[in-house]
Structure 1
C-alpha cells in the first residue's frame, strides 16, 4: 500500500532508515534510540535499523529479554528470562514483573535476543511473567509508533496506554456473571409440570419469556431464590452459564438494528455512498456538516455496514459529557454490545471494556481521547467526532493527539477513517482541499430551518448588567415570553475575573502565577484557575486598607445571579466545572432542560460541543473577544470554532434560532467575515495568512518547554540547548529553525518559571531528526536533570 502524503500537524509514519524520516511504508522497526547522539550511553539510544520482514528478531529460547519499564528514560532494560517460560514462549508483548532499583515494577517485553550488552551473569532475572499470551499486536504497534513520533519514552508510553489494573499486574480476564436459561426439557415442560412447587413453576414461566435467559441479579430481584434455581437445575429444567460482565451477548444479537435507520437526505446519502465504496481499505474522509445536519446518522449507518461485516468500529468523542448521550443513541439503534471508555469509569469497568474490545465481543467502542489506545480484534472503521476539538490533544506527559493517532492507526489497519465537524481544523481542511482526503460536505440542517447566523452586538458605550447589554436582556425576555429557552454562553467560571480596590487600583493576583485570582461566591473565596490555589476574601485592600473592594468583569456565577434577579420566575441552570463536580450532575441538569419548559442556561464551553438542545432558540455570547484575541496564533481559529459551535445550539428543532454575539470590536474584519459569510470563508482567509506566515499547516513545529523553581536554571539550560542545537544543525546543514529560548506567555505558573524553545521546519523528517537529537542531548546533560523539560511535537497551544 503506497504511503499517503504527509499531513501537516498529523502523525503518520514510522522512523525510516534514511534520515530518521517518517514513512508509513515500513511499520516495523527495532527500537534502540536517536541517531548520532552527542554522548554514547549503553542502552540509551534508539536506532533506525529495519528488521527483515517487518518482524522483531526472535530466538526459540532467548537468553536476554529487553523490557520497557515505566520511567522517563528513552531506553530499554535487559533481563534474564524467568526459569518458567509462559505457555506461548517468550515473545514481545508479555507483561513481566521485574526488580527495578529498590522496587518491583510491571514492564513489557519488547524484544527477545540471544545476547545483550552486558554479560548474562550481570543481568537480573524476570521475577514472574504475568500473561499466558501477549498483549494485542495492534496495541503494541500503536504504542511503539506513538513513542517514536512524540519522542516519548517507550516504557512510559506503554504504561500510560494500559488500563490501571493491568499496570498493577492484574490478569487480563473478563469479569463474569451468572445467566440462567431453560434447557430443552424446560422448554418442553408444560405449565402444569410443577403442581406442588408454585414458585418454581412461576420461575420456569418467567424464564420461558426470556429465550436467552436472565442474569442472577434480575431473577433474585423478582423475589425468587437460589434454592429454587438449584431445584430446577436438579430437575434438568434450567441450566447455568457464565457470561462476561461487559459486552455480554444481547437478546436478538443476530438482528443488528433495534431501531430502524432514519431516512437520509441527498447530501447524507452521497456521503454514505462514498464511504461504502472502500470499506476494506484506508479511506480518509472529512465530513464537514453544519450543526444539526445529521452527521451522527451518517456515523450510525456507516457503523451498521461495518458491524454487519463482522468487524468493529471505534468512535472518539471529545468530552466525557458527550459520551452518555452518544452511548444512549447508539445503544438504542443497535442490539449488539456498545462499550464506553473514558476517565469517568471505575478501574474495573475500564478493564472490562478494554478486554471486551480486545477480544472482539464489543463490536462498537465509544470513548474519549485515551480510547484511541483501545485494542480491536477486528478493526473495521474509526470515527472521530468534532475532530477539530483541542481536547483530543494531551497537554502533559505523553503529549499525543488522538485524532492524529487515529489517522496513523486507520492507515496501519487499512480501514476507513471518518472525521466529522461543523468547523474542521485548518490542518484537516488543508488536507481535504488538496484532495488527499475526500471532502464530504453537509450544508443543510435536518430541520427546515437554516443555521442561525451571528448578530454582532456592539458593547462600546453601553451599560452592562452581569455582563449583558440591554438589547441582549430584551431579547432574552422576548424569548422566554414565547415559551422557549435561552443559552447564555460565557467561557469564564466564577463570579468575576478578579477583585479590585476602587481606591488604589490593587488587583487580587496569585502568589504563584502571573495571573489574577478569580472571585467565587459559592463558596466565597479567591481561586487561581491555573494552580488551584485558594485564599479567603480580604476584609480590606492589602495595599491601602480601603474596604471599597469591587468585582471586575463577569463570570458564570455573576451572570447567573443577574438573570435570577431579572427573571425570578424562570429557572436558571448554571453548567460549568464547578456546578457539575458531583456524579451525574451534568446529565441531570441537561435532563431538566430537555423537558422543554422555559428556562435559562448559563454555561461555559461544556455546553458548546455537540449537545442537542431542541428548545433553545436564543444564544447570547457574553464576551466573544476573550477567545478571539490572544497571543497564540491558533486563537482566532479556535475562537471562531467555539462561536460557531455554540451558535449551533440554537434553532435545532421546530423554531428558528438567533445568536447575539457581544463584542467591543464589531468592525474587526475577521469577526465580520465570520458573521457574514461563515466559518468556511474565514478558514480560507486564515489558511492564506498561515501560508504567508509559514505556520501550520504549512510548516511543522516542535516546542521544548523548560520549567524550574529557579529562573536562572531554566534560562541557562535553554541557552545551552539552543546553542548546541544550532551548532548541530549547521554541521548537518539541516533546514530547521531554532527560535528562542523565550519566556512562555505565562512565565510564572505554579511557582515555577517557564521558558520555551521552538523548532520549525518545512519537512517533518527534518523536524523529527532535530527533535531526536535534542532529546538525546538533554538526557546526556547533567544540568537537565535539575530542570523539568518536555518536548511537544505538533503543539496545539504555545501557552
Structure 2
C-alpha cells in the first residue's frame, strides 16, 4: 500500500521551496519521524510533518520514495513541530530551514545504520550520590520568590540584585519540578558559552544523585559528537536537565516542565544569522505550548532572570502579562570554589534594584546586618563613583584617583577589575603626516592594531597583515596607535603601577581576558582559575568578564570609556550600556566581608547624563521609566513593532535599489496589513561594507504586531519576484529580521 507524506527538508534560504515536499512511502510513518529522502541529486535528512490522504495532485512519475527511516528514535513531538512552525512563520523563514537547523549537525548526516550503531552505546551513568538539592538554606526573599512563583501560572520575571541568589532560586525551582514528576525535564539557558561550563558544574554537583549523565549541555562550543550525545539524551527523556545557549530553546525535550532564562536581557539570545529568532521570546512561547499539551498539574513554567531586565519584559510586568518576583537583598556569604572548577559556589548574577530598597539596605554599618535565619549573610552593592574626565589631566587614560584606589586594593590583597569593551592594542594605526589610517581594504572599518603579534586585524572580515614598517601612503616611519584597546590598557596599567607591591612584597600581577587571549581550548578556564585563586591583582578585559562571573576578592570595578553608547543612533544603545555597567558593577563585593568597601568607578566626560544618575543609585526602575517614556513617545518597542529588511550586493546602489523596488511593489499591490505598516527608504548599514559586500537596510514599522506579520508574509512573494528582475541579478542575498535588537 502506498502512503503519502509531507516531509520537511532543509532548503536554501529564500528558495522557491519553503514548505514540506510530498514523498511516497511503503509503510505508514508517524508525524515527527526522521527519514532520509532524495532531494535533487542528494540524499538529505527530513522530518515527516503530516500524513496525506493522496498525492495532492502530484503526478505518479514525479513522486519519489523516501530512502529510509532513522529507526530507534521516537518521533519529534507535536509540540516541538508547533514550536518550529511558529518560529518559521513569525521570523519569516522556511519551515525546513528552522526544523533541520534545530537538529544536531551530525544527526543530519547520519544514515539509519549509523544511527543504530550510535544508539547501541550506553547512555546513562548508573552512579548515584546523596540528594543535595536542598542542602543550602534560602534567604527570606529567595523563599518568598519561590512561593510566589509556585502560586502563579504566568511567565515570571525574577528581578534580583547582584548576588541576590537567583541561581539558588533556579536550583530549588528545578529540584521541586524534578521531585514532583520522575519524568520531568528542565531547560536552563545562559547567554554566553563561557558561562555554561561553570553553571553545569554547579548543577551537576547539586543534582549528582540523578547521575552525571542526567545533566547535559547544548551549545556551539561542543564537538559534533558531544552535541549529538546531549541531544539524543534530551530527546529520549534520559537527560533530566539541559543547560545551553540560545540553540537549546529548540531542543527536543518531550517532558519539559520548567524553562529558566538567565540574564534574559542579554542580546546574545537573538540569533543573528539564518532564522533571526529571539530565544528568550521563544522560551515564553514554548512554555505556553507545553502547558497546553501537558496533563493537569504538570504545566510547563518559564522563569526569566535578570538584574537589568529587557524593557520588553519589564513592561510586561507593568501590564500584568508577566509576574514580577523581586529580590533586592544581596546574599554575600563567603564560599570556596568547587574543587577543580575554579568556580565559586555562589551564582553568577546581574546587578541592581530600586533606590528605595538601596537606601534601606545601605542604612547602617555592617554590624547592623545580622545573618538571617539559616546562616545567609547579606552584602551591599558597590558604591558608584563618577570620575569627571573634564577635570582630569589632558590625555589622561586612567584618572590619578582611580590609580591610587587600585594601588590601595593591591596593598590590601584585594583584586580590581578594569573594564574596556574594545579588544586589541589600539582601534586604529595612523600617520599624522598624511592622515593615513589602517582601514580595511575589504570593509568600511578600521583594522585594529594588535601589538602582541604586530598585526593589523579586521574584526569584521578577519583580514590580517603585518604592521608596515612605514606609512604605506607617504613613507613616514612615525606611524602611531590612536585610541586604546585592552591590550594597550594592560600595558599602560603596568606602567602606572610600577613600584606598587602586593602584601607579601612581590610585584603586581596584571592579567587580560578577552577574545584574543582565550582563543585556545581551555584558555578561559585556566585564566579564570588564576583569578579565583588570587594570583591576579588587576584583571583587564572586555564584556566577557563583566557579567556572569562570581569573583570573590574583587572589590573595585572601573569602566574606562563607556561614553560611546550614550549618543548612538541605535535606540537600544542606552539600555545595553546601562545593563553592561550594572553587570560590571556586580563583580565587586560579592563576598559580604568586602562588600562594604566595594566600589564601581565610571570615567566619563558626561557625568550629568541621566543614565549615570540612575547607575549611581543602582536604580533600574528609574532608568526603565525614563527609557520607556522615550520609547512610548517614539512608538518604539515595546510600544511599537518593527522589522529590518537587509540586502547585500556588490554595489550599494543595487542593494538599496532592490529594497526600494520591493517596497514600491508592496505599495502598488496594497498588501494585507499595509494600512498600518510604514516602510522607510533604504539606507546603508552602519558598517556599510564587509568583505567587499555592500549592505543596506530598510526599516518597517507598525503599531500592530499582527498587521506587521500579515504584511511581511504577503510581501515575501514580491521580494522573490523583485529579486528575479534583471537589474538585481548581482544581489547576493536578502533577509528579514523581525524584532531587531540593533538598528
The bucket for the TM-score relative to the shorter chain is 0.7 to 0.9
Q: How does 1:332-411 map to 2 (within 5 A)?
A: 332-334=205-207, 335-336=209-210, 337-411=214-288
Aligned equivalents of 1:765 and 1:597: distance in 2?
56
1:161 aligns to what?
Answer: 102
Q: Are 1:125 and 2:81 an aligned pair?
A: no
1:293 aligns to what?
Answer: 164
Aligned equivalents of 2:496 and 2:570: distance in 1?
37
* TM value normalised by structure 2: 0.86
Q: 1:362 to 1:309 in 2, by over 3 A?
A: same
Counterpart of 1:307 (choices 174, 178, 184) is 178
Checking the alignment, whether the CA contact within 8 Å between 1:68 and 1:110 is kept in structure 2 is no
1:596 aligns to what?
Answer: 534
Q: CA deviation at 1:111?
A: 2.7
1:544 aligns to what?
Answer: 474
1:189 aligns to what?
Answer: none
Q: CA deviation at 1:731?
A: 7.8
Aligned equivalents of 1:652 and 1:321: distance in 2?
20
1:319 aligns to what?
Answer: 192
Q: Are 1:579 and 2:517 an aligned pair?
A: yes
SS at match of 1:767: helix
Checking the alignment, whether the CA contact within 8 Å between 1:64 and 1:116 is kept in structure 2 is no
1:430 aligns to what?
Answer: 315
Q: CA deviation at 1:619?
A: 0.6
Deviations 1:133-154 (A, max 9, x none): 4234333222122111111011
Checking the alignment, whether the CA contact within 8 Å between 1:617 and 1:650 is kept in structure 2 is yes
Q: Are 1:504 and 2:434 an aligned pair?
A: yes
Counterpart of 1:635 (choices 552, 566, 573) is 573
2:715 aligns to what?
Answer: 774
SS at match of 1:428: helix
1:197 aligns to what?
Answer: none
Q: 1:681 to 1:777 in 2, by over 3 A?
A: same
Checking the alignment, whether the CA contact within 8 Å between 1:729 and 1:770 is kept in structure 2 is no
SS at match of 1:505: coil
Q: Which moved more, 1:484-493 or 1:733-742?
A: 733-742
Q: 1:618 to 1:481 in 2, by over 3 A?
A: same
Q: 1:65 to 1:597 in 2, by over 3 A?
A: closer
Checking the alignment, whether the CA contact within 8 Å between 1:466 and 1:554 is kept in structure 2 is no
Checking the alignment, whether the CA contact within 8 Å between 1:494 and 1:519 is kept in structure 2 is yes
2:559 aligns to what?
Answer: 621
Q: Are 1:716 and 2:657 an aligned pair?
A: yes
SS at match of 2:675: coil
* TM value normalised by structure 1: 0.80
Q: How does 1:40-51 map to 2 (within 5 A)?
A: none
Aligned equivalents of 1:679 and 1:288: distance in 2?
10
Q: CA deviation at 1:473?
A: 1.2
Counterpart of 1:570 (choices 503, 508, 525) is 508
Q: CA deviation at 1:434?
A: 1.1
1:6 aligns to what?
Answer: none
2:736 aligns to what?
Answer: 791
Deviations 1:420-461 (A, max 9, x none): 001000000000111111111111101233211321111225
1:239 aligns to what?
Answer: none
Aligned equivalents of 1:606 and 1:585: distance in 2?
13
**Unmatched runs of 5 consecutive residues or more in structure 2:** 292-299, 333-377, 499-506
Aligned equivalents of 2:536 and 2:513: distance in 1?
16
Q: 1:755 to 1:598 in 2, by over 3 A?
A: closer
Aligned equivalents of 1:514 and 1:688: distance in 2?
35
1:208 aligns to what?
Answer: none
Aligned equivalents of 1:598 and 1:529: distance in 2?
28
Checking the alignment, whether the CA contact within 8 Å between 2:5 and 2:25 is kept in structure 1 is no
Aligned equivalents of 1:352 and 1:694: distance in 2?
46
Larger Rg: 1
2:501 aligns to what?
Answer: none
Q: 1:661 to 1:305 in 2, by over 3 A?
A: same
Q: CA deviation at 1:700?
A: 0.6
Q: Are 1:90 and 2:55 an aligned pair?
A: no
Counterpart of 1:735 (choices 643, 667, 676) is 676
Q: 1:446 to 1:683 in 2, by over 3 A?
A: same
Counterpart of 2:392 (choices 445, 454, 462) is 462
Q: CA deviation at 1:604?
A: 0.6
Deviations 1:596-643 (A, max 9, x none): 345111111111221100100001111111333322110000011000
SS at match of 1:522: helix
Q: 1:730 to 1:309 in 2, by over 3 A?
A: closer
Aligned equivalents of 1:677 and 1:303: distance in 2?
29
Q: CA deviation at 1:732?
A: 5.9
Aligned equivalents of 2:560 and 2:86: distance in 1?
43
Q: How does 1:198-213 map to 2 (within 5 A)?
A: none
Q: Which moved more, 1:772-781 or 1:340-349?
A: 772-781
**Unmatched runs of 5 consecutive residues or more in structure 1:** 1-59, 178-241
1:202 aligns to what?
Answer: none
Q: CA deviation at 1:106?
A: 1.9
Q: Are 1:440 and 2:325 an aligned pair?
A: yes
Aligned equivalents of 1:771 and 1:65: distance in 2?
25
Checking the alignment, whether the CA contact within 8 Å between 1:484 and 1:598 is kept in structure 2 is no
2:632 aligns to what?
Answer: 691
Checking the alignment, whether the CA contact within 8 Å between 1:248 and 1:361 is kept in structure 2 is no
SS at match of 1:740: coil
